[in-house]
Each structure stands twice: as structure tokens, then as C-alpha cells.
């Protein structure tokens, strides 16, 4: 039987130790790239795009993120064509974060794949785990919204400002509140 590395466990959503030396080095690399990105000027658009292409697992064309941006690893983030994230975006990407085409994130959006055990004794012992997040095409996520681990957001959805999304969101709806709930259908 092959023993999984801590990285393999992390990517599979299993309990793993974030203090593993390989993961520490990879997080430090992501911190280096995001630091360089966050220090660019508004006139350095090509440099910003180049750094994001180095950081992310995959990107479409026309990707634009306003600094300050933060993430854990970067390589677990995939964004489609015409992606825009406004100031203060945070993506905790211990598991995959897949974002479709034509998506916009307003200021302060946080996307979390990371979580911790519920039982205090397990949490204190140190392992953590996660669950992937998937965001469809043509999604608009309002300011200061939080997307929790394991959530899938459907195509053409709108997440109202300040929403805390704890459950899947179907296509063509507006959700809002804490926890986020259905507000209305979007006419096509």
C-alpha cells in the first residue's frame, strides 16, 4: 500500500498536515508571487498578467485582478475567459477552485476551500482538510461575500453583497443573506 503525501491528502480533501515541508515551500512561493503582484503599479498590466499566469493553475484570456490579492497555493485556482476580481480578493485554495468564463468578483470577496475538524480534540491536533469550490459561467459575486468549502455556484447566478454561501446555488438565480438564501429567479 502506497502512503499518500500530505499534498496528495490535501488535494483529495482528506485530513492533512499543513506544516509539511513541501506545502510550506509551496505556500512561500505563492506568497512571493502575490507579494510581487501586489507591489505592481497600475501601469504594469502585462507584469500583473504574467505573475497571475505563473501563480494560477490555468487562466483564460483577459484576466484582471486588482491588488491586494491573496491565496494559499495558486496552482489550485483555474479561471476562465474575462475574469475580473476587485480589491481585497482572498482565495484559500487548498483544494481546487474552478471559476468559469465572464465572472466578476466585487471588492472583498473571499472563497474558502479550507476547513477544520469540528471536534475540538481533532482540531487541536493540527490536521485540516478542504473541499473544492466551483463557480459557473457569467457569475457575479457581490462585495464582501463569502463562498464556503464545497459550494457549487451555477451559471448566470448573482450572489448579493455580504452573502455567506454555505450551500450550492442553482443556475439563473439571485441569492443573498447569511446564510445565503434564494431571492429570485433571473429572467433570461
Q: Point out the residues that are catalytic.
A: 116
Sheet holding 63-65, edge to edge: 63-65, 83-85, 104-105, 140-141, 158-159, 173-176, 181-185
**Nearest-angstrom CA–CA distance, 90 and 105:** 11
In order of 104, 120, 142, 146, the CA distances from 107 in angstroms are 10, 33, 8, 11
Other beta carbons less than 10 A from residue 8's beta carbon = 12
**Nearest-angstrom CA–CA distance, 128 and 136:** 27
Amino acid at each position: 500500500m502506497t502512503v499518500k503525501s500530505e499534498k496528495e491528502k490535501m488535494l483529495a480533501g482528506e485530513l492533512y498536515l499543513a506544516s509539511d515541508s513541501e506545502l510550506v515551500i509551496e505556500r512561500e512561493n505563492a506568497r512571493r508571487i502575490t507579494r510581487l503582484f501586489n507591489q505592481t503599479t497600475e501601469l504594469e498590466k502585462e507584469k500583473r498578467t504574467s505573475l497571475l499566469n505563473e501563480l494560477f493553475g490555468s487562466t483564460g484570456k483577459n484576466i484582471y485582478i486588482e491588488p491586494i490579492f491573496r491565496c494559499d497555493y495558486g496552482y489550485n485556482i483555474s479561471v476562465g475567459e474575462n475574469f475580473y476580481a476587485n480589491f481585497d480578493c482572498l482565495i484559500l485554495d487548498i483544494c481546487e477552485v474552478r471559476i468559469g468564463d465572464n465572472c466578476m468578483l466585487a471588492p472583498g470577496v473571499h472563497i474558502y476551500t479550507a476547513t477544520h475538524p469540528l471536534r475540538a480534540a481533532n482540531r487541536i491536533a493540527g490536521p485540516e482538510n478542504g473541499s473544492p469550490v466551483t463557480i459557473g459561467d457569467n457569475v457575479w459575486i457581490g462585495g464582501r461575500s463569502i463562498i464556503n468549502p464545497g459550494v457549487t455556484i451555477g451559471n448566470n447566478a448573482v450572489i448579493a453583497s455580504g452573502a455567506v454561501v454555505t450551500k450550492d446555488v442553482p443556475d439563473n438565480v439571485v441569492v443573498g443573506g447569511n446564510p445565503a438564501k434564494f431571492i429570485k429567479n433571473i429572467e433570461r
